[in-house]
Amino acid sequence: MSFDLQKILQSKRALRRDLAARPLAEKLRLLEALRERQLAIRGRAVHSDPGALREEPAPYHTQPK
């Protein structure tokens, strides 16, 4: 396996052009398939574990009125 940077970059540009030329409905199907794969790899739905550590967002510092 060779690491020809020019060939890699050319391939990436071609893939991006191909994806950009696809219809919106097909792009949405691809996105949904990627999301399903991500969930399968993770092994569970996002935030489904009640024991998972969750961090509260930092409070906004407002001046008193």
8-24: pLDDT as tens digits: 999 999 999 999 999 99
Domain residue spans of the chain: 10-42
- What's residue 57's pLDDT? 74
Contact 53, 61 (CB under 8 A): no
Query: What is the distance in angstroms between the CA of the first residue and the CA of the last residue of the chain?
Result: 66
The model scores a pTM over 0.85: no
